[in-house]
Chain A
C-alpha cells in the first residue's frame, strides 16, 4: 500500500512538473559532438571541434542568460555502425538534444535517420555528402559548412576558368570519391573543359606510383584528386617524388583541409588548388576568432570544419533562446527562420532544404617563399558568392522543398 502511494505521488509530481520542463528538456541543453577523435580525421575536426563548441557556448553567454548547456563527446571511428550506436544511446538514454559535427558521409546518413526517428536534431559540419540536403533531407537536420557539390563547383569551375581545361581524375573507390568525381566532372564539362581519363584506387591506399604514372601519361593539365585525408596527402607527396608538378601538371585537391597542407608542408603542397568555405586569415573577424581558438588548441589554426562547429553551435543556441525550447524539428525550423551572423562566415542564412549558405573560396597553396610563418598557407584565387556556391534548391530533389 505504501509503495502504491509513493508511486502515485511520484507520478502526480511528474505530471505537474512536466509542463515546466517541456520547454527545455530536463532543464539542460545537451550538445553531442560526434566525430573521429583518433583516426584520419582527428586533426581536421576531432578534439578541435569540441574546443570550438565550448568557445561558442561561452561567446553566446549561456551562463549569463541562465541557460545550462552541456557538451558530450564521442568517437565514431568513421564507422556507421559505431556512429548509429552512439546516436541511439545518446538520444535514448543520455537525453542529448542535438548531435553536431559528424565527418564521414556514411555515418552522416545513418545518424540522420536516427535523429529523424527520435525527433531530435542534427547539424553536420564536417560531413560532405550533398545527399543530406537532397534526397535525404529532413526537417531534423541542417548541413552547415560545405558539401560535395560546393567543392566540385568551386574547384571545378574556377580551375577550368583559369586555364585548367583538361582533367584526369584520381578517385578513391568508394561512394564519397565517386560522388566527388561525378559532381566535378559535370562542372568541368559544363565550363568547357574535357576529362581525358580517370582511375579508381582502392580506399584507403598507400602507394600511388602506378596511378600517378597513368595520370602523367595522360598529359592532362589538371589532376583532380577525388579523395581525402591520408590518400590525398600520399598522392601529393608521391606526386612530388615523380615530378608531377615540375613536369607542368597541377594537382586540384577536391577535399583538402588546412591541416592536410600543414602535414604535407609547403615544399610539397605548393601550387595546389582547393576550395574551402573558411580560412583564418580572410578578414579581421576570422583572424580574431582563430587566434582565440589557437590559444586553446595547441597553437593550431581552425579548419573550416572546426570553425563551422563554432558557427553552428552559436546559431543553434540563438534559436533555442528565441524559441525557449530545445525540441528538435522546432529548433531546426527556427534556425532556418533566423538569419545567421558570426565571425566565421559573416552573414548568411539556412535554406528550406537545410543547406546553410555562405561564400566559398578557391585557394592556392603558397610557395614556401611566400609564407610568413606556420599556418600562413593560402592565397585567395577566387570568391564564389553564397547564392552560387551551393546547388540550387530545385535541383536537389529534396522532398521538403515545395515546387
Chain B
C-alpha cells in the first residue's frame, strides 16, 4: 500500500525517525523556553552551550576515561556553572533594558565560544562513540531502529515531562513563576529572587548541555554543531509560544515529524519548512500556538 507513492512501511519508518529528531528539538527548546518564559532572557548562546555539553563529554572520555553515563551528569553541571557565571557577570546588568540587548549579548557570547573552540579543534568534528549498552538495534520489520536512538526519545520525554511538572505543578515552580511576574513582592516574602533567577538560567543552560551529550554519539562533536541549529530552535520556541513550556515540547516533537515527512516528499526543503511554518503561525497567532499574549 502506498501513500502518495511512498510505501506505508517506509512512511512509518520516517515518522519514527522524525520523532527521534523531534526529541532533540524538544529538549533544546525546553531550555530556551525556560530561560525566556521565566526570565525574559533571549539566550542566543544556547546552541554554543549545547556544543559545549558535547565537548565536555568528549573531554571527559579523552582525558579521564569517564564514559557516557557519568557525562550525562557531568556535562550539564559544568556547562550550567558556566551559564551561572555568565549570568552573574554579564546578563544581570541588562535586565532593566530592552530584551533585545540580551539577545545581542548572548549572540556575541555564542560567536566567541564557537570561535575559540574552532580555533582549537578545527571544524571537521571529533568522534564519540555510544556506550556499549546502547549499541546495536532492533529490527522492527519496517525499519531497523538503533537502540541509541530509541534511548534518546525515551530520555528526552522523561526530562521534558519532569521539567514541565516541576515548573507547572510544584511549589518551587510556583515561586519561580511568581518571582518573574512580580519580583519585588516575592522578594518581600523572603525569597532570594536574584539567586533563583541565576539558578534557573543555569538550569536552562544545563538542559542545552544535556542535549549536547545526547547528540555526541550521533553527530560528530564539532564546534559549529549548534550554529545553524540555534535559529531552528528559536523558531520552535516562537511557534510554541514564548513562555509556554508545554508549547515548546509539543512543537519540538511536532516539528521533528513534519521535517521527517518533508524529507520524504521534498527533501531539499527540509531545512526551511520550519521557517515557513513559523511565518504562517506568527501571521495567524502572533503570540505563538500556546503563548500568552504580552
Q: What residues make up the interface of A, taking CB atoms closer than 8 Å to B?
A: 38-40, 42-43, 173, 199-202, 204-207, 209-211, 213-214, 216-217, 229-230, 233-234, 237-238, 241-243, 247, 259, 263-265
CB-CB < 8 A to B20: which residues of A? 209
Additional 12 contacts, C-beta under 8 A, given A217-B7, A263-B124: A173-B267, A201-B267, A206-B229, A213-B17, A216-B143, A229-B124, A237-B127, A241-B148, A243-B144, A247-B144, A263-B127, A265-B127
Residue B184 is within 8 A (CB to CB) of chain A in the complex:
no
Give chain A nearest CB distance to B14 CB in angstroms.
6
The docked-state distance in angstroms from the alpha carbon of A207 to that of B225 is 11
Q: Which of A40, A206, A211, A259 contacts B267, CB < 8 Å? A: A211
In contact, A40 and B124 (Cβ under 8 angstroms): yes
CB-CB < 8 A to A230: which residues of B? 123-125, 220, 222
A sample of 22 inter-chain contacts (CB < 8 A) reads A38-B118, A40-B124, A42-B124, A43-B122, A173-B267, A173-B268, A201-B267, A202-B268, A207-B218, A209-B20, A210-B18, A210-B264, A213-B10, A216-B144, A233-B124, A234-B220, A237-B220, A241-B137, A241-B148, A241-B149, A243-B137, A263-B124
Give chain B nearest CB distance to A305 CB in angstroms.
14
Interface Cβ pair total, 8 Å cutoff: 92
Give chain B nearest CB distance to A218 CB in angstroms.
10
CB-CB < 8 A to B271: which residues of A? 202, 205
- A-B interface, 10 closest residue pairs, ranked by CB to CB distance from nearest: A210-B263, A202-B271, A209-B17, A173-B268, A241-B146, A39-B123, A213-B13, A210-B17, A206-B219, A217-B10
Give chain A nearest CB distance to B13 CB in angstroms.
5
Most chain A CB within 10 A, of B123, B137, B260, is at B123
In contact, A209 and B21 (Cβ under 8 angstroms): yes
The docked-state distance in angstroms from the alpha carbon of A191 to that of B264 is 30
CB-CB < 8 A to B21: which residues of A? 207, 209
CB-CB < 8 A to B163: which residues of A? none
In contact, B17 and A40 (Cβ under 8 angstroms): no
The docked-state distance in angstroms from the alpha carbon of A162 to that of B110 is 49
CB-CB < 8 A to A42: which residues of B? 122-124
The docked-state distance in angstroms from the alpha carbon of A265 to that of B122 is 18
The docked-state distance in angstroms from the alpha carbon of A216 to that of B268 is 19
The docked-state distance in angstroms from the alpha carbon of A241 to that of B124 is 19
Which chain B residue shows the least CB distance to A209?
A: B17
CB-CB < 8 A to B123: which residues of A? 38-40, 42, 230
In contact, B118 and A238 (Cβ under 8 angstroms): no
CB-CB < 8 A to A264: which residues of B? 127
The docked-state distance in angstroms from the alpha carbon of A211 to that of B13 is 11
CB-CB < 8 A to A206: which residues of B? 219, 225, 229
CB-CB < 8 A to B124: which residues of A? 40, 42-43, 229-230, 233, 259, 263
Which chain B residue shows the least CB distance to A202?
A: B271
The docked-state distance in angstroms from the alpha carbon of A64 to that of B237 is 66
The docked-state distance in angstroms from the alpha carbon of A209 to that of B137 is 14
CB-CB < 8 A to A200: which residues of B? 267-268
The docked-state distance in angstroms from the alpha carbon of A50 to that of B145 is 45
In contact, A241 and B218 (Cβ under 8 angstroms): yes
The docked-state distance in angstroms from the alpha carbon of A233 to that of B17 is 20
CB-CB < 8 A to B260: which residues of A? 210
Give chain A nearest CB distance to B165 CB in angstroms.
29
Residue B40 is within 8 A (CB to CB) of chain A in the complex:
no
Residue B198 is within 8 A (CB to CB) of chain A in the complex:
no
The docked-state distance in angstroms from the alpha carbon of A214 to that of B143 is 10
The docked-state distance in angstroms from the alpha carbon of A202 to that of B232 is 14
The docked-state distance in angstroms from the alpha carbon of A234 to that of B14 is 18
Residues 196-252 of B contacting A (Cβ, < 8 Å): 218-220, 222, 225, 228-229
Give chain B nearest CB distance to A257 CB in angstroms.
11
In contact, A234 and B219 (Cβ under 8 angstroms): yes
